[in-house]
Structure 1
Amino acid sequence: MFSQEKTKEFLLLRLKDNGGFGATPLLPSTLEDTYFGTLASFFLSATFFKEVKPKIKRFLFQLNFYDLHDPFKLYQGIKLYQVLEVELPSELKEYIKEKLTLWSLSEALKPARIFALWYLSKFINEKMITTALENRASSFEFKTLEDLFYLSEINHGLKDKYLDFVLRSQNGDGGFGFYPGTTSFLENTFYALKILSGLSIHRNVFHKAQHFIRACYNDDGGFARKPGGISFLESTAFSIEILNSLSKSMSI
């Protein structure tokens, strides 16, 4: 049975003195772990998030954006500022503008990177780069649900277009694989349900998925990538966000 109190304990054990989150109680904080730990806290409880928010800001104020040479990490940093309701440094937009053209010209772009670049280009209102990335997203030959999720965040029309691909990726255990016929994992289930949100889908799809997510819950208060696995901040954040969304939209 999912326990909000146990999940709070799970998160607090990974919240460091500098305000960041670490993957385990013994490992140091990282931007990625702090991003997922913050999202998990935000979706878990407004009261709990209010409690940990001042501490997480401590990590944020120590974050040096100029050390972030990957667009997805920069995206995560910006989202932290927004979730924590902190005004972004004025010089940040200039830094993004300086790096954006170099990044967007890369040929070996994965969908997650295309999405991050698209988000950054919209953030600083670089319309030509935004349009170019939207065109690339529309023509990208994706392979996995993760790919489709990031591309559909840019082009919502892809959700309807590839609905059958998403539905065929659901397995008998209620979870979703990377693509049809592959093993269920929590992250794929998150991507699938985010794609399906807002579409006219039979409730049974969501009920089965909820069952799989709850089966990934561990006694330490965290969620694993699959039932019986080790708890991670990423899978915990994904699970809490989806369960929060399902409870509001379906009253389950």
Structure 2
Amino acid sequence: MNPFTKIDQEKLLEFISLRQKNDGGFAAFPSLPHTLQDTFQAIDTLSVIENQLGGDNLVDSAKTKETVRYVTSSQAGGATGSMRLQYFIAEICRLLKIESRLIPDAIIFDSGGETDYEYGFHRKYFGLPPGDQVLDVNCLFRRKHLTCKDLMFFLKITSEKDRCTLKNKAVDWLRKCQNADGGFGFYPGTTSYIENCHYCLESLSILGQLPQYDHKTENFILWSQTTSGGFSRNIRAAPFLDSTWHAVRALRALQRLQDISG
């Protein structure tokens, strides 16, 4: 059964719409100013819901003239800033079908504090080499503090050959990240949070392997939806736009895995 049918879609859409500002951008909370990250996460969440549940032009409903103006003005300053910022702008343009005027050759390659694997992913997105040192499969599990986020971005940018080489070790490590509550920690032995579910399930989806407790995982994600419609990092936290985006992305990855397993 499609896990998306078990969420409160009406309340979720209301939660997102309340975070769209008068000038077109989206904010993490109604009283906060908009950011490009929140705007991307809101529109991408609408896109996933539309694809999974056949929503009625959910993405188009977010494409107001104010939003188009906001994104267009953001592109005007797009030659500076971090690669992550450039990625948000380009993805918003793709989702809203707005012409992207970002020119990769003109981007200032500032990592913006990103980890090397995340930075490598954003470089690859713009058609740039992620860097040979980033793709050294032999160094991956030698890292002192490898996280599930690192592993997800590594799997997105490495070759199919390298994925096959590390598959068994990666799957074992990811399954050790899962806790008895069904959620995942940042690395084995740490507390479950919704963003870690996204990173681990996305990685397992790339590798084509189910988590150890897939039914518990589904429940952990679904129980993180609050009465406001948004999702929290866990059942004891407050809902925010970023945790809602992570939850929806996690559900999408879980559905792919369930489809594979039949």
Corresponding residue for residue 98 of structure 2: 86
CA RMSD of aligned residues (A): 2.8
Structure 1 residue 131 displacement after superposition: 5.0
For the pair 1:61 / 2:72, whether they are aligned, the reply is: yes
Query: What CA distance in whole angstroms lies between the structure 2 residues aligned with 1:42 and 1:242?
Result: 14
User: How many residues are aligned here?
Assistant: 240
Structure 1 residue 204 displacement after superposition: 5.8
Partner-residue secondary structure (3-state), 2:22: coil
Corresponding residue for residue 95 of structure 1: 106
Q: Which has the higher helix share?
A: 1
The match for 1:28 among 26, 29, 33 is 33
Q: Comparing 146-155 with 175-184, which one deviates more in the overlay?
A: 146-155
| Contact kept in structure 1, 2:178 and 2:184, CA below 8 Å | yes
Corresponding residue for residue 225 of structure 1: 233
Corresponding residue for residue 120 of structure 2: 114
**Deviation per residue, 1:4-56 (Å, 9 max, x gap):** 01011100110111211011111111111111111111112242222223453
Query: What CA distance in whole angstroms lies between the structure 1 residues aligned with 2:30 and 2:114?
Result: 35
The match for 1:146 among 133, 144, 149 is 149
Corresponding residue for residue 71 of structure 1: 83
Query: What CA distance in whole angstroms lies between the structure 1 residues aligned with 2:204 and 2:174?
Result: 8
In structure 2, do the counterparts of structure 1 residues 203 and 116 end up closer, same or farther at CA, with 3 Å as the change threshold? closer
**Runs of 5+ consecutive residues of structure 1 not aligned to the other structure:** none
For the pair 1:44 / 2:80, whether they are aligned, the reply is: no
Q: How does 1:142-221 map to 2 (within 5 A)?
A: 143-155=146-158, 157-158=162-163, 160=167, 161-202=169-210, 205-221=213-229
Q: Comparing 213-222 with 158-167, which one deviates more in the overlay?
A: 158-167
**Deviation per residue, 1:82-127 (Å, 9 max, x gap):** 22222211x623312xx23xx47x999533223222323x1xxx4x
| Contact kept in structure 1, 2:149 and 2:199, CA below 8 Å | yes
Corresponding residue for residue 3 of structure 2: none
Corresponding residue for residue 132 of structure 2: 132
| Contact kept in structure 1, 2:182 and 2:220, CA below 8 Å | yes
| Contact kept in structure 1, 2:135 and 2:154, CA below 8 Å | no
Query: What CA distance in whole angstroms lies between the structure 1 residues aligned with 2:114 and 2:73?
Result: 31
Query: What CA distance in whole angstroms lies between the structure 2 residues aligned with 1:22 and 1:108?
Result: 22
Q: Comparing 147-156 with 131-140, which one deviates more in the overlay?
A: 131-140
In structure 2, do the counterparts of structure 1 residues 110 and 229 end up closer, same or farther at CA, with 3 Å as the change threshold? same
For the pair 1:236 / 2:244, whether they are aligned, the reply is: yes
Q: Comparing 38-47 with 131-140, which one deviates more in the overlay?
A: 131-140
In structure 2, do the counterparts of structure 1 residues 72 and 138 end up closer, same or farther at CA, with 3 Å as the change threshold? farther
Structure 1 residue 205 displacement after superposition: 3.0
Relative to the length of structure 1, the TM-score reads: 0.83
Identity of aligned residues (%): 29
Partner-residue secondary structure (3-state), 2:132: helix
| Contact kept in structure 1, 2:37 and 2:88, CA below 8 Å | yes
Relative to the length of structure 2, the TM-score reads: 0.80
